[in-house]
Amino acid sequence: MSGIDYLERIPNNVDLAANRRLLRALEEWQPKFLDWWQAMGPEGLQATDIYLRTAVSVDAQGWAQFGYLKMPEYRWGIFLAEPEPNRAIAFGDHKGQPAWPDVPGEHRATLRRLIVTQGDTEPASVEQQHHLGRTCPSLYDLRNLCQVNVEEGRHLWAMVYLLDAHFGRDGREESEALLQRRSGDRDKPRILGAFNERTPDWLSFFMFSFFTDRDGKYQLASLAESGFDPLSRTCRFMLTEEAHHMFVGETGVGRIVQRTCELMREHKTDDVRRFGGIDLKTMQKYINFHCSVSLDLFGSEVSTNAANFYTMGLKGRFEEAKKPDDHQLKDATYSVIELDGDRAAAREEPALVSLNERLRDDYIADCARGLQRWNETIKRHGIDVELTLPHRGFHRAIGCFAEVKVSPDGRIISEAEWDARHHDWLPTAEDQSFVQSLMQPVVEPAKFASWIAPPARGINGKPLEFEYVRLG
Ligand code: BYC
């Protein structure tokens, strides 16, 4: 890798040039990252020119540059949002004190763990999506997949920067380990459950981008409140890129819904599978699956970890500054839906230990807004079906509902009922192989697979006919 100007290769606004030790650590890490990228990034596309956006600054007016690029030449940079002058910690025991430019010794281990957990999800999602390029429904979608992937790579850089710059040797070891774990690997899995699931088809990809990237939005927004200022600034800028990932998910599922409705009307049937579409019943099962595994990512309903993160000033609430309370929550309570015998019921819990649930509530409300937009499309076609979010207790592996079986409408049910009904609620092997059978690549500009409608507009003002990926 000699002869590379790393300062040129790592665009940044953190004055890397002035910090030789940090620069050396990142220079050592970069070739390992590129090896990982070659092995785990979008398969078969590393030598292809793709119309990508690259973050080149944090200027709200023009932070991104668009152009053709081969992905290994993407300039994974380090960008922190502009510092807020005199920023004070907004919550917890340190409320009102100046934000920390460096890691306070007593919070070092906890902060490291939070940053590693966040960092681990970024390469994991790239690994999950490794094979998808082979079956893209259009060049437009293929380009979006690559865009999302290079930016997940950049988000990994963002966390590695924090680890290398602020956590010394421990941080460098964690940076290495982030490249060694693998999604779904039995011996070295990724840290959080949803990131070890497979993303074998594009319906799963769009659902993942809608539901799981949205967990990213809420977790990043909470970390953006952190008293540790570099983490806050990093997350604030990551959220700018994250918006596109959720756009890909919401419009991707929306376009499938649109196409399904067109087929339903044209052929006067719900069973659009025969006509190369994905029926709404199957869509509902995928929603149930991806929503439930993403709900797990918020942790337990009642969590002393979450309370400690907050009290220590490390992780706040979504839009902390907008909450009209004392931002310490020592005496406050929060209504949490928990298991109460044979039903799910609300119970008042101390607000501090309920912070995971509160964030999950914010997240569910945001998901519901997206579903409403899909349902408007269905309604516009005069079809009397509504897609719904499953109950928060459905198909959970983390938290109190992990102990029981819950139906999508929130009834606690017996194992026997679960065994008899779960095929109606979650994708079956047959559903998956049907969806898989539709995954035939479409790579002519302006052409789209049978099961998805074209988008309303192209990328960066380009028309749909534009060659977003030059497959040559
Ligand atoms: N899987 O006290 P609890 C994104 C563990 S996505 C496996 O309830 P806590 C992205 C937990 O570690 C956003 N284990 O949990 C999206 C704990 O272990 P210990 C990622 C789990 O700590 C798409 C124990 O169970 N960011 O950016 O309050 C593409 C008890 O847990 C899980 C973050 O997650 C699970 N799902 O909350 C690309 C933010 N859940 O202590 C990117 C950073 C819990 O007993 N992380 N456990 O050993 C956090 O804030 C918290 O760690 C969590 C968990 C919210 C994840």
Q: Whose CA is nearest to atom 55 of ligand 1?
A: 298
Q: How confident is the model at residue 58 (pLDDT cuts 50, 70, 90)?
A: confident
Residue with the nearest Cα to atom 16 of ligand 1? Answer: 213
Question: What is the pLDDT at residue 238?
Answer: 94
pTM summary value: 0.96
Mean pLDDT confidence for 334-344:
94
Q: What is the pLDDT of residue 11?
A: 84
- Whether residue 301 has its Cβ less than 6 Å from ligand 1: no
**How far, in Å, from the CA of 452 to the mean position of ligand 1?**
33
Q: Measured between alpha carbons, how far is 245 from 248 in angstroms, rounded to an integer?
A: 5
Best residue among 159, 304, 305, 308 to mutate for probing ligand 1's pocket (most ligand atoms within 8 Å of CB) is 305
Residue nearest to atom 27 of ligand 1 (CA): 216
Average pLDDT over residues 284-292: 98
Q: What average pLDDT does the chain have?
A: 95
| Alpha-carbon 209 to chain mean position | 6
Expressed in angstroms and rounded, the spacing between residue 303 Cα and the centre of ligand 1 is 11
What's residue 1's pLDDT? 34
For 419-441, the pLDDT digits (tens) are 999 999 999 999 999 999 999 99
Amino acid 7: pLDDT? 61
Q: What confidence score (pLDDT) does residue 62 get?
A: 72
Question: Among 300, 302, 338, which is best to mutate for testing ligand 1, by the most ligand atoms less than 8 A from CB?
Answer: 300
Cα(74)–Cα(318) distance, rounded to whole angstroms? Answer: 31
pLDDT computed for residue 155 by the predictor: 97
- Asked whether 125 lines ligand 1 (CB < 6 A), one says yes
pLDDT at 2 over 60: no
CA distances from 213 to 19, 85, 325, 375 (A): 33, 30, 29, 21
Residues 6+ apart with CB under 8 A from 409: 391
Contacts (Cβ under 8 Å, ≥6 apart) of 310:
91, 92, 316, 317, 329, 352, 355
Q: pLDDT above 70 covers what percent of the chain?
A: 98
Residue 114 in contact with ligand 1 by CB distance below 6 A: yes
297 lines ligand 1 (CB under 6 A): yes
Which pLDDT value is given to residue 9?
74
> pLDDT band at residue 5, thresholds of 50, 70 and 90?
low
Confidence at 352, pLDDT banded by 50, 70, 90: very high
- 350: pLDDT confidence band, cut at 50, 70 and 90? very high
**Residue 33, pLDDT above cutoff 50:** yes
CA-nearest residue, atom 23 of ligand 1: 213
Q: Is 80 exceeded by the pLDDT of residue 188?
A: yes
pLDDT at 4 over 70: no
Lowest model confidence (mean pLDDT) among 58-67, 95-104, 278-287, 310-319: 58-67
- C-alpha of residue 456 to centroid of ligand 1, in Å: 36
Distance 290 CA to ligand 1 centre (A): 16
**What pLDDT is stored for residue 57 in this prediction?**
77
**Ligand 1 pocket: which of 127, 192, 204, 213 to mutate (most atoms <8 Å of CB)?**
192
Ligand 1 pocket mutation, candidates 398, 400, 401, criterion most atoms within 8 A of CB: 398
Alpha-carbon distances, residue 179 vs 34, 40, 127, 188 (angstroms): 10, 10, 11, 11
| Mean pLDDT for the stretch of residues 125-150 | 98
Ligand 1 atom at minimum distance from 114 CA: 43
Say if residue 349's pLDDT is above 90: yes
CA 345 – CA 363 distance, rounded (Å): 19
Among protein residues, the one with the nearest Cα to ligand 1's atom 20 is: 118
